[in-house]
Each structure stands twice: as C-alpha cells, then as structure tokens.
Amino acid sequence: MKILIVDDERDVELLFRQKFRKEVRNGLLELAFAFSGDEALQLLDSEHPPEVVYVFSDINMPGMTGLELLEKIKSQFPSISVSMISAYGDSENFKKAMDSGAKEFFTKPIDFDSLKIEIGKIINQE
C-alpha cells in the first residue's frame, strides 16, 4: 500500500521513515513524499490510476494549503483517503477538514500509534 505524506518541512520525511521502518521493510507500506500541494498533485497525476491510497497532509503550507489540497484530491481522486495534520488543534480547521472529506485529523506532535492504527484499518480494507 502506497501512502503519500505532504509537508513543507523536509525533516518530516526522516521521521516517517523511522517510524514506519518495519512496515516498509516487510512490504506492507510504500512511502512517498511531496513538499507542497502542487508537488503532491503532480505525483498523483503521474500514475494512472494513482497507486497512492492514503494521503497524510499538513494544513499550513506556503502556496496551496492542505485544505485546498484536500478539496482537489477529493474531487479528482475520490477513492483516496486523506487525513490532515496541524500544529494547531483549532476547531475551525478541524471542521473545515472533516466537512471537506478528511478521514482523520491529527495534531502535532504526531501520535504515531494512532496513525498506525488508522493506516492498519486501510491496509485491512485492501
């Protein structure tokens, strides 16, 4: 199962690679990374159909925000699940994300145990 992590902070890639090392080594997960909303859409557009089944996106990014990305993914690729992450657990962003079709909403620092449970549910649906 391929998941796409979208965050303008590049150190997030190392963190995810460490936290999901076992799942990647066992062939359960393939991780892809994009550092902007535009880059994420380019990656999704480059595969027909997209191999990505789950997108995990930061909300606050320069250029296209995570919420704008969420809306574009849900309109262009409705079968892809999207979860959002924000450094701010404010109710306004939570409501916007959930109303726009987000599967889940996480706050930083990321609770990787909860995220692994969420990804496990998706793997079991495959």
CATH of the domain at 83: 3.40.50.2300
The tokens 């066992």 sit on which residue?
A: 26
- Domain extent, residue 27, equals 2-125
Cβ distance 61 to 7 under 8 Å? yes
Its pTM stands at: 0.93
What domain count does the chain have? 1
Q: DSSP letter string over 50-100?
A: -SEEEEEEES--SSS-HHHHHHHHHHH-TTSEEEEEESS--HHHHHHHHHT
Cβ distance 84 to 66 under 8 Å? yes
Residues listed for the chain: 126
Provide the pairing of β-strand 2-6 with 52-58. Answer: parallel
Instruction: Point out which residues pair with 86 in neighbouring strands.
Output: 107
| End-to-end Cα spacing for the chain | 8
Does pLDDT of 21 surpass 70? yes
Does pLDDT of 87 surpass 90? no
pLDDT bracket for residue 126 (50, 70, 90): low
Residue 71: Cβ-neighbour burial (10 angstroms; 0-12, 13-18, 19+): middle
Please name the helix (run of DSSP H) or strand (run of DSSP E) that holds residue 107, with its range, or none: strand 104-107
What pLDDT, in 10s, does the model give residues 37-50? 999 999 999 988 88
Mean pLDDT over each residue of the chain, to the nearest integer: 92
